[in-house]
Chains A and B, each alone.
Chain A
């Protein structure tokens, strides 16, 4: 049986979404001239500022295009559903974001994205624009700790992009924005759990098979199988399993400050997210950690997948002001 979706044509879903986003948020976003799959902030890029360009597949909204705006990302390249954008929109986004101080590409660590954005970087080099790359690798379930560079980038993107975007908005030079972006990534940890599959608009069939009564720990945001499957358990137990893993990785000291995100993968409602958050807050308090910033809601989704992820960013004196820095995006605001 085909899943039910409010779409017109599966193949047109991404372009029609983009038309809607531009119609709703034309004060914040626009398409660069001649571009189909790139958006740029109306008042973000400016002379002498490092251009922050993010991007990735569609289906994760508000990630990625929802984080474009003054104080966060300058531009975004938009791919098909769950597929890296080709180099062309990444080049268009970078040209639109370029203020003469270099461009930083940031995106989740996936083989396809790396190939396409690397091709974009080569094309920009020919145009005389320096483009560097910082990959996000916050999903602790996707590879062992000693292979951090193989991990996927998931919901922690919002904090990592935010820190880098703030650094760029504060007119820091490319070296410094890049360093802070890497620093932010290294201190951000995410793990999720999936309760049911999602389906692509083009196929409208569940993209994996998860029997009733089961959950999958560590599942990727494209439905990539996770590390372990087991019976669905109460929210507190799921939160505990995830927080045990995150706290162990993070190695924070009592008195340290954190930013926390409890994220919906799509169809899990706020009620359940706040039930999870309650336990997360308890666990952080038990560990002696102060919650400086809390986000609860859909920040990095996987179409209509059911499930949630928990992200903790281990703040320090450098990251804290960047997380607090104001930004005004179509789907995310601060200050």
Chain B
């Protein structure tokens, strides 16, 4: 394993994200059917596929490729996840900067930057049963110290735990908010897919 995370590593990360969303599409749709409109898996797969295509079509820096991912995801999807992930990828692009590779030890910062972008665009607060409930704890764990692999393990675990915890929350933002108490007992599909994305990112950053 090299100590650098390169643009070709980023290409592979997006391949992995598409593979993961393909595998989880129907499960995410079913989850969304309980408290939403059953299209979350479709949107995430469409978005990640378009992001992957844009990343692969862009010959440039990490920043260029992540900005391309943002635009690709947004224009393929719209919906809620489009602006949220587009803003997240743009923040990650800024954090990665105009370089061909970055030290792997700094890669958790990309997860924190994504979380910031998502929080900024969605204006959600943790605890409102949204994807931020996975991203925010992941971002917090990303700021920790220790060996990279340990930090990334903690990041992925925090996102997963955060997503699971949404089952115990009453939605107060997003479409499920109209359900009130009826959303209780079901995890938020956006938080569940967010934990999957964080897990894939952590795996790719580890090398």
Contact = CB atoms under 8 A, between A and B. Distances in A.
Nearest to B178: A142
A264 B131 CA distance: 34
Given A87-B74, A88-B75, A202-B42, A82 B37 contact: yes
A275 interface: no
B80 to A, nearest CB: 4
Contacts of A11: 46
Nearest to A85: B78
Given A111-B173, A116-B82, A220-B178, A83 B77 contact: yes
Interface string B170-196: 000111111100100000000000000
Interface stretch (A23-31, A221-229, A319-327): A221-229
Contacts of A209: 33
B64 to A, nearest CB: 19
Interface in A119-144: 119, 142-143
SS class, residues of chain A in contact with chain B? loop
A144 to B, nearest CB: 10
B26 interface: yes
Contacts of B81: 112
SS class, residues of chain B in contact with chain A? helix
Given A86-B75, A143-B178, A81 B80 contact: no
Contacts of A80: 39, 42-43, 46, 77-79
Contact of A86 (B35, B78, B177): B78
B169 to A, nearest CB: 16
A174 to B, nearest CB: 25
B79 A203 contact: no
Contact of B83 (A115, A206, A207, A208): A115
Contacts of A88: 74-75
B36 interface: yes
Interface residues of A, number: 35
Interface string A204-218: 011111000000000
Contacts of A116: 78-79, 82-83
Contact of B79 (A84, A202, A225): A84
A158 interface: no
A202 B28 CA distance: 13
B178 A152 contact: yes
A203 B37 contact: no
B40 to A, nearest CB: 10
B38 interface: yes
A187 to B, nearest CB: 22
B78 A83 contact: yes
Given A88-B75, A224-B175, A82 B39 contact: yes
B99 interface: no
A79 B179 CA distance: 24
Nearest to A202: B42
Given A115-B121, A115-B122, A84 B82 contact: yes
B159 interface: no
A200 B173 contact: no
Interface in B21-44: 26, 29-30, 33-39, 41-43
A224 B82 contact: no
A21 B34 CA distance: 33
A110 interface: yes
B82 A86 contact: yes
Interface of A: 11, 57, 79-88, 110-112, 115-116, 119, 142-143, 150, 152, 200, 202-203, 205-209, 220, 222-225
24 contacts: A11-B46, A80-B77, A82-B39, A83-B77, A84-B80, A84-B82, A85-B78, A87-B83, A111-B80, A111-B174, A115-B82, A115-B121, A116-B79, A116-B82, A202-B42, A203-B38, A203-B39, A205-B38, A207-B39, A209-B33, A220-B178, A223-B33, A223-B37, A223-B38
Given A83-B43, A205-B30, A207-B38, 6 more contacts: A111-B122, A112-B79, A203-B38, A205-B29, A220-B178, A222-B37
